[in-house]
């Protein structure tokens, strides 16, 4: 269909065809807007407004054949208005910092993101933390554990490298880098919203940004009457596009004394969060929430709404979060109103049906764990409750808060509250609470309570209590855990073996070696893994014997344990009969299969640190008739690879 046919159809009520006009003219309008705005974010906003305005005025177009030039004039008028209203930002964004060294002037946002993704991790992270997250040199240095001088030199080199990368990019190609589907969806959503408002008030024929500025009462009326479903989603998408004014208008309705209006607006806020999409596709590992969520957080923080109401709303929003970035932002924001939120958080926690159920709403559990000793104090009376379900929930909660308070990636004794706050800014799960919310005495009380639950009638509760004692790493509970190693339930015994290796008390390795003789293969495997984690060098002869006599998962576990004991270097043990040693190809094929399985196993046990791909078993040379201790000197001289003759 040509423009004439599409426009005639749209005028006659087929609004869905307007998307065809957007598809045909989108790139040209974006290029025009970018040429004036100088950055893709404002260019996209202006292009969006152009298509909405064109739809509203479509009946005024007399010469349909001149739709293209007419659309261009609308875009120019909107760009002119934008230019006149544009206020200079007092902050120094990254593109202006780069402009100091680049005579090309302002660099648009999408190109920045593409350029940043091409940088190495050290340079990219320094730039993002300083310019996008707004951290000072000192805060960046603290986050990366490097001197301030190194931060400054990295930033300088990163700017030079980024400038060079950006200069090689094709400007025209980058300007049009706006997702077509989301652009068209946002235009259509605003048109649908404006048509809904027009049905309420036929005088309302303005873009949403204009209407919010001049006639906000019409927007309020729409919220009163909007139906659930597609109409609600259209309104929410349009609000995301409208930015701060739309969020502020919606929050004003949430805080209204009119209860039906407040309820409707609250549901819209929930949907607003659910439909939010991350806007950091170029940097998926960055903790950036969508722009609308930042507007929501800022509006809620500065609102005169009662603190308890803010906390309640934030808790409800946390249950609707669609992704990690939004959750992280809202968790940190909830920390501003912890006192008001505590009662409702605990009420929801105690409503859990069992220990596993507390993780079904993990965001609220993490919010509780961030309160540290306050959450622990609420758990203590219920750990020994007569109510089996409540006791199970309390023990599971104790395990979670212990995991948080025993934070192993920071030195709990020396870390400052500033470092803790910075860590919480980027960590959703198990973020260490501030010093005022940590107390060794509360951990001791929790441990004493859990020690009474290691023989609980409920298996899940019993295992959870044993696991928690292992996480505490307190040798005072070695005897309690050792006693569990004789429990008739196999799962309980295996949990005790793991906990014993975590505690690392004197004689634990020798004890595990003794009980291994009475266990089945599954139990022995857990013991072997425990010996590896505790780096028990005295267990090496036993582990090497398992390598030669066992098969399958148990043999893999033994090899991995030896690797862990040797500071997580790869220790690959391969057994070949004498007659196979001359058949190099067959031996090496088997070795390669075994090696790949073990390499993946090592990656898991070493916390995701990948074994080097260059360590290829196929590079081995079989020396003589009998297997000997050999090294692959070319590819991996630091990793021992042993081959045994089983005769």
- Residue 421 and residue 410: Cα distance in Å, rounded? 12
Instruction: Name the residue with tokens 């004197």.
Output: 506
CA torsion, ordered 132, 136, 140, 145, to nearest 10 deg: 180
Q: Pinpoint the alpha helices (H) of 38-176.
A: 40-56, 67-85, 94-99, 109-117, 121-127, 137-144, 148-167, 171-175
In this prediction, residue 82 carries a pLDDT of 81
User: In angstroms, how far is CA 466 from the centroid of its own chain?
Assistant: 30
In this prediction, residue 624 carries a pLDDT of 31
In this prediction, residue 323 carries a pLDDT of 84
Name 644's Cβ contacts closer than 8 Å, sequence gap at least 6. 547, 548, 573, 574, 575, 576, 627
In this prediction, residue 592 carries a pLDDT of 53
Max CA pair span of the chain: 96
Name 47's Cβ contacts closer than 8 Å, sequence gap at least 6. 26, 29, 30, 33, 75, 178, 183
Q: Which residues of the chain have pLDDT under 50?
A: 87-92, 99-107, 171-177, 280-285, 568-588, 602-647
In this prediction, residue 53 carries a pLDDT of 95
- Residue 386 and residue 596: Cα distance in Å, rounded? 50
CA torsion, ordered 513, 514, 515, 521, to nearest 10 deg: 50
Two tokens at 471?
């996480």
In this prediction, residue 582 carries a pLDDT of 42
Report strand pairing: 640-645 vs 629-631: antiparallel
- From the CB of residue 530, how many other CB atoms can be counted at a distance below 10 Å? 25
In this prediction, residue 513 carries a pLDDT of 95
In this prediction, residue 213 carries a pLDDT of 86
Per DSSP, the three-state class of 637 is: coil
In this prediction, residue 595 carries a pLDDT of 53
169: left (phi over 0), alpha (psi -120 to 50) or beta: beta
In this prediction, residue 126 carries a pLDDT of 78
In this prediction, residue 556 carries a pLDDT of 78
- Residue 21 and residue 64: Cα distance in Å, rounded? 12
Name 269's Cβ contacts closer than 8 Å, sequence gap at least 6. 250, 251, 254, 296, 313, 317
DSSP letters, 492-509, are HHHHHHHHHHHHT-TTHH
- Residue 131 and residue 555: Cα distance in Å, rounded? 50
DSSP letters, 191-248, are HHHHHHHHHH-TT--S-HHHHHHH-HHHHHHHHHHPPTTHHHHHHHHHHHHH-HHHHH
In this prediction, residue 588 carries a pLDDT of 47
pLDDT in tens, 200-220: 766 667 888 888 888 888 889
In this prediction, residue 396 carries a pLDDT of 97
């Amino acid at each position: 269909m040509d423009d004439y046919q599409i426009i005639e159809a749209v005028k006659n009520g087929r609004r869905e065809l307007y998307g065809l006009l957007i598809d045909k003219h989108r790139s040209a309008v974006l290029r025009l807007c970018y040429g004036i705005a100088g950055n893709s974010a404002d260019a996209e906003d202006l292009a969006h407004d152009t298509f909405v305005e064109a739809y509203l005025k479509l009946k005024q177009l007399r010469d349909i054949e001149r739709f293209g030039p007419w659309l261009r004039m609308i875009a120019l008028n909107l760009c002119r208005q934008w230019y006149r209203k544009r206020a200079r930002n007092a902050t120094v964004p990254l593109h202006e910092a780069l402009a100091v060294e680049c005579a090309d002037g302002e660099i648009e946002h999408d190109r920045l993101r593409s350029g940043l993704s091409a940088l190495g991790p050290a340079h990219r992270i320094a730039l993002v933390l300083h310019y996008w997250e707004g951290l000072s040199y000192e805060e960046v240095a603290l986050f990366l554990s490097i001197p301030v001088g190194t931060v400054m030199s990295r930033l300088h080199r990163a700017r030079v490298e980024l400038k060079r990368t950006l200069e090689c990019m094709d400007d025209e190609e980058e300007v049009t880098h706006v997702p077509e589907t989301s652009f068209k969806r946002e235009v259509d959503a605003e048109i649908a919203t404006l048509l809904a408002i027009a049905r309420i008030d036929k005088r309302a024929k303005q873009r949403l940004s204009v209407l919010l500025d001049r006639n906000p009462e019409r927007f309020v009326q729409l919220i009163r009457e909007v139906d659930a479903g597609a109409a609600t989603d259209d309104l929410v998408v349009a609000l995301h596009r409208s930015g701060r004014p739309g969020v502020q208008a919606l929050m004003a309705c949430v805080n209204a004394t009119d209860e039906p209006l407040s309820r409707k607006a609250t549901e819209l806020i929930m949907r607003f969060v659910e439909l939010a999409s991350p806007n950091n596709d170029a940097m998926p590992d960055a903790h950036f929430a969508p722009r609308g969520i930042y507007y929501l957080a800022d509006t809620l923080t500065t609102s005169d709404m009662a603190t308890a109401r803010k906390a309640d709303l934030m808790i409800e929003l946390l249950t609707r979060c669609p992704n990690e970035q939004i959750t992280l932002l809202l968790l940190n924001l909830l920390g501003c109103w912890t006192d008001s939120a505590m009662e409702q958080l605990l009420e929801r926690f105690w409503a859990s049906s069992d220990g596993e159920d507390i993780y079904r709403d993990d965001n609220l559990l993490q919010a509780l764990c961030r309160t540290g000793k306050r959450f622990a104090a609420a758990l203590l009376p219920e750990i020994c409750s007569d109510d089996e379900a409540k006791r199970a929930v309390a023990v599971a909660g104790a395990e979670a808060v212990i995991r948080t308070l025993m934070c192993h990636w920071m030195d709990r004794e020396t870390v400052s509250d500033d470092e803790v706050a910075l860590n919480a800014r980027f960590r959703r799960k198990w973020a260490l609470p501030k010093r005022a919310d940590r107390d060794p005495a509360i951990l001791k009380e929790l441990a004493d309570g859990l020690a009474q639950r290691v023989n609980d009638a409920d298996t899940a509760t019993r295992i959870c209590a044993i696991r928690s004692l292992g996480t505490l790493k307190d040798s005072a509970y070695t005897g309690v855990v050792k006693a569990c190693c004789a429990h008739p339930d196999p799962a309980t015994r295996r949990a005790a073996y793991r906990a014993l290796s975590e505690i690392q008390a004197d004689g634990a390795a020798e004890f595990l070696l003794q009980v291994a003789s009475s266990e089945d293969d599954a139990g022995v495997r857990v013991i072997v893994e425990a010996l590896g984690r505790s780096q028990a060098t005295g267990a090496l002869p036993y582990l090497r014997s398992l390598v030669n006599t066992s098969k399958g998962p148990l043999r893999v576990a033994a090899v991995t344990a030896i690797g862990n004991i040797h500071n997580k270097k790869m220790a690959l043990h391969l057994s070949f009969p004498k007659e196979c040693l001359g058949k190099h190809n067959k031996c090496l094929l088997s070795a390669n299969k075994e090696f790949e399985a073990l390499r993946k196993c090592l990656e898991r046990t070493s916390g995701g640190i990948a074994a080097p791909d260059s360590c290829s078993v196929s590079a081995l040379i079989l020396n003589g008739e009998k297997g000997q201790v050999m090294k692959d000197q070319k590819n991996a001289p630091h990793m021992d690879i042993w081959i045994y003759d089983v005769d």
